[in-house]
């Protein structure tokens, strides 16, 4: 292998180019000067200057979710690095491949409470898959290669590389990529156990009331085609988690909705009454299971997941298979028998007919569910949807059907308010020809509203539909249902005029106050090109999300509609 000596910052960009990186979301600072200087005339990599480091992390996350590639963000030392933490944790909880590059004070100043010094490695260790603090420029090329390899291999996740100023500004020995070294340091997952797959196939072939429950892992492993083939061969109905949305077409006759706290009633009934639950690429989190002791009480469980730590963590499976969902499904498919539609599938369809989603139409107030339904109709179900967190997120999940993977981007595990808008920026950068819409709440949109400047500076036609009820809506809903309407600190006084705010950023703002204004406003929004657009929809202030399984409760205690 040939060697040459180059500046550390130059080595960094060579590795990024080697990895196929096209975009970095970042914010400069003093200890990043050598890196930003190396970026100055670079034509191969586009830098998006966000207005806050948290926005950079979420944008990299949205880029990664929309493409399946590793997203990259960059921040300076101290407060710049600590501002990434929420974004890194969001990606970590949802298994999103992100590489974060942070500047650090000179190696001789580390540990001496230097200006803008923080223990970035220690702070981010719990919220990253792996992280590095470099000590010499020579470490930089291979450490960065490893970071990308680790971020996307196995169960994806964020990796951070902390780069002191003298490392990026110093001279590094450049060596060519050695794939065998990467595989030795962090090998790919082992092949799944064929005997376990055979046992799973036997359970499927014998089951009277089987049900497929899919999570984010099906999308991350690009296993959606194999999953559809399995469902259609066996005639088994499919339900999904929040992050599994889009892993199976929601308009397919075998698609039976979204499970969990605010999932479709018929999906939850199916889980509660199935005799075999086939869980693929999910971790059985508490928003899916509710009271674990009453979750799928009649079912044997097959659990397929790439991470062995998830097996048995929440539910005890009858059969488990550790492996990539795509590889497992490819081996499972020849072993399962064709299965006709039975009375069980008819029962689920009957639950869907008798327990559909429903809401009240009023002449004087706008129902948020209607707004999402109209958005779905006007876009033909083809838009990339990002969400904030809360009621807006749940209405989006319930009423906007997804036909393909990587179409619904939302913070699931961490529930991060402020995620949706910068994630939409990342998705729009990644998919410039797609319509990208952030369905937001009036509380969460303000958490990263400064990224309007990022969207406008880059001429991004990101759309934001604010379901504005003047409250922190989901917390208010819980206060209404469980705390006798004592709305403690959930009413949002002093909300900005979002139309004027959009205009202040040289963007388009539209206000909607009446039901008959909804469709024209959304049509106008969809026509906007070359700049962001905010549609501020004044919805019914005390509209709630139903169905709802109260926290820690079971399907038997599901609230189907507003109590009288």
Residue 415: predicted pLDDT: 97
In this structure, what are the phi and psi dihedrals at residue 482, rounded to the nearest 5 degrees?
-120, -10
SS (H, E, C) 110-142: CCCCCCCCCCHHHHHHHHCCEEEECCCHHHHHH
User: Among 453, 463, 437, 461, which residue's Cα sits nearest to residue 529?
Assistant: 461
User: Among 456, 459, 427, 421, which residue's Cα sits nearest to residue 440?
Assistant: 421
Q: Which residues contact 489 (CB under 8 A, 6 or more apart)?
A: none
Q: How many whole angstroms separate alpha carbon 539 and alpha carbon 26? A: 35
What share of the chain has pLDDT > 90, as a percent? 95
244, two tokens: 């599994």
Residue 185: predicted pLDDT: 84
Rounded mean pLDDT, 110-121 = 96
Residue 564: predicted pLDDT: 65
Residue 181: predicted pLDDT: 86
> pLDDT digits over 158-199, tens only?
999 999 999 999 999 998 898 888 888 888 888 999 999 999
Does residue 1 have a pLDDT over 60?
no
Is-contact 390 444, C-beta < 8 A? yes
What letter does residue 407 receive in the DSSP assignment?
-
In this structure, what are the phi and psi dihedrals at residue 426, rounded to the nearest 5 degrees?
-60, -40
Sketch the domain layout of the chain as residue ranges: 3-185, 194-354, 368-552
Strands 436-441 and 463-468, how do they pair?
parallel
Give the confidence band of 472 by pLDDT, cuts at 50, 70, 90.
very high
Beta bridge partners of 235: none
Q: How many whole angstroms separate alpha carbon 249 and alpha carbon 412? A: 20
Beta bridge partners of 71: 98
Is-contact 288 279, C-beta < 8 A? no
222, two tokens: 């690009």
Fold of 3-185: Rossmann fold (3.40.50)
Residue 3: predicted pLDDT: 72
Fold of 368-552: Rossmann fold (3.40.50)
CB neighbourhood size of 200 (10 A): 27
Residue that has been written with the tokens 């698609």 in this structure: 255
Rounded mean pLDDT, 33-38 = 98
Mean of the per-residue pLDDT values of the chain: 97
Q: Does the fold of domain 194-354 match that of domain 3-185? A: yes
Q: Which residues contact 346 (CB under 8 A, 6 or more apart)?
A: none
User: What architecture does CATH give domain 194-354?
Assistant: 3-Layer(aba) Sandwich (3.40)
How far, CA to CA in Å, does 440 sit from each of 161, 371, 447, 468, 562?
A: 32, 12, 11, 8, 23
Q: How many whole angstroms separate alpha carbon 132 and alpha carbon 241? A: 33
User: Among 208, 263, 216, 260, which residue's Cα sits nearest to residue 236?
Assistant: 208
DSSP string, 26-57: E---GGGHHHHHHHTT-SSSEEEE-SSHHHHH
Q: Which residues contact 180 (CB under 8 A, 6 or more apart)?
A: none
Q: How many whole angstroms separate alpha carbon 77 and alpha carbon 161? A: 12
SS (H, E, C) 523-552: HHHHHCCCCCEEEEEEECCCCCCCCECCCC
> pLDDT digits over 253-277, tens only?
999 999 999 999 999 999 999 999 9
Q: Which residues contact 351 (CB under 8 A, 6 or more apart)?
A: 265, 266, 269, 270
Rounded mean pLDDT, 477-485 = 96
Helices marked H in 404-539: 420-430, 452-457, 473-482, 498-504, 518-527
Q: Which residues of 159-183 are buried (b: 16+ CB within 10 A; e: fewer)?
A: bbbbbbbbbbbbebebeeeeeeebe
Does residue 361 have a pLDDT over 60?
yes
Residue 2: predicted pLDDT: 59
User: Among 202, 216, 351, which residue's Cα sits nearest to residue 281?
Assistant: 216
Sign of the Cα torsion 180, 325, 389, 527 reads positive
Rounded mean pLDDT, 417-433 = 98
User: Among 459, 408, 415, which residue's Cα sits nearest to residue 441?
Assistant: 415
Q: How many whole angstroms separate alpha carbon 307 and alpha carbon 325? A: 11
Q: How many whole angstroms separate alpha carbon 190 and alpha carbon 187? A: 8
Residue 230 host element (H or E): helix 224-234
How far, CA to CA in Å, does 217 sit from each of 14, 279, 325, 416, 536?
A: 31, 10, 7, 20, 34
């Amino acid at each position: 292998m040939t060697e040459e000596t180059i500046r550390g910052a130059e080595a960094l960009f060579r590795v990024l180019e080697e990895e196929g990186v096209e975009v970095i979301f970042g914010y400069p600072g003093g200890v990043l000067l050598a890196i930003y200087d190396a970026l100055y005339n670079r034509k191969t990599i586009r830098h998006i200057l966000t207005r806050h480091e948290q926005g950079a992390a979420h944008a990299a996350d949205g880029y990664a979710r929309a493409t399946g590639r590793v997203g990259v963000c960059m921040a300076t030392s101290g407060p710049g690095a600590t501002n990434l933490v929420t974004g890194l944790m969001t990606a970590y909880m949802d298994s999103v491949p992100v590489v974060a590059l942070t500047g650090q004070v000179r190696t001789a100043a580390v540990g001496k409470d230097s200006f803008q010094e923080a223990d970035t490695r220690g702070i981010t260790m719990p919220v990253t898959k792996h992280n590095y603090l470099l000590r010499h420029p020579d470490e930089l090329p291979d450490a960065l290669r490893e970071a990308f390899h680790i971020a996307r291999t196995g169960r994806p996740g964020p990796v951070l590389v902390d780069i002191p100023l003298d490392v990026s500004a110093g001279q590094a020995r450049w060596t060519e990529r050695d794939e065998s070294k990467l595989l030795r340091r962090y090998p790919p997952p082992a092949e799944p156990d064929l005997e376990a797959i055979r046992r799973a196939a036997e359970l499927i072939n014998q089951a009277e009331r089987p049900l497929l429950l899919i999570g984010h892992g099906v999308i991350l492993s690009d296993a959606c085609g194999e999953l559809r083939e399995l469902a259609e061969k066996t005639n088994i109905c499919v339900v999904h988690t929040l992050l599994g949305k889009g892993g199976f077409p929601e308009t397919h006759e075998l698609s039976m909705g979204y499970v969990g706290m605010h999932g479709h009633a018929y999906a939850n009934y199916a889980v509660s009454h199935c005799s075999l639950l086939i869980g693929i690429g999910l971790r059985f989190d508490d928003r899916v299971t509710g009271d674990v002791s009453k979750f799928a009480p009649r079912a044997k469980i097959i659990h397929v997941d790439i991470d062995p730590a998830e097996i048995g963590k929440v539910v005890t499976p009858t059969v488990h298979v550790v492996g990539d969902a795509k590889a497992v499904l490819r081996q499972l498919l020849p072993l399962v028998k064709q299965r006709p539609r039975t009375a069980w599938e008819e029962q689920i369809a009957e639950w869907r007919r008798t327990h559909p989603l429903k809401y009240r139409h009023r002449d004087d107030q706008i129902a948020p569910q209607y707004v999402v339904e109209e958005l779905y109709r006007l876009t033909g179900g083809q838009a990339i949807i990002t969400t904030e967190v809360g009621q807006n997120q749940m209405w989006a999940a319930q009423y906007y059907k997804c036909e393909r993977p990587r179409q619904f981007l939302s913070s699931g595990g961490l529930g991060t308010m402020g995620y949706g808008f910068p994630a939409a920026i990342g998705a729009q950068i990644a998919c410039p020809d797609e319509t990208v819409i952030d369905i937001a709440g009036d509380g969460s949109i303000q958490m990263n509203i400064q990224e309007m400047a990022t969207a406008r500076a880059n001429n991004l036609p990101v759309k934001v539909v604010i379901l504005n009820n003047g409250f922190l809506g989901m917390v208010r809903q819980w206060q209404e249902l469980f705390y006798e309407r004592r709305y403690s600190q959930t009413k949002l006084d002093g909300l900005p005029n979002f139309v004027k705010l959009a205009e202040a950023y040289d963007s388009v703002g539209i206000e909607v106050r009446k039901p008959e204004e909804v469709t024209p406003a959304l049509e106008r929004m969809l026509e906007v090109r070359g700049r962001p657009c905010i549609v501020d929809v004044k919805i019914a202030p005390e509209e709630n999300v139903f169905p709802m399984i109260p926290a820690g409760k079971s399907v038997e205690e599901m609230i189907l509609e507003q109590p009288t």
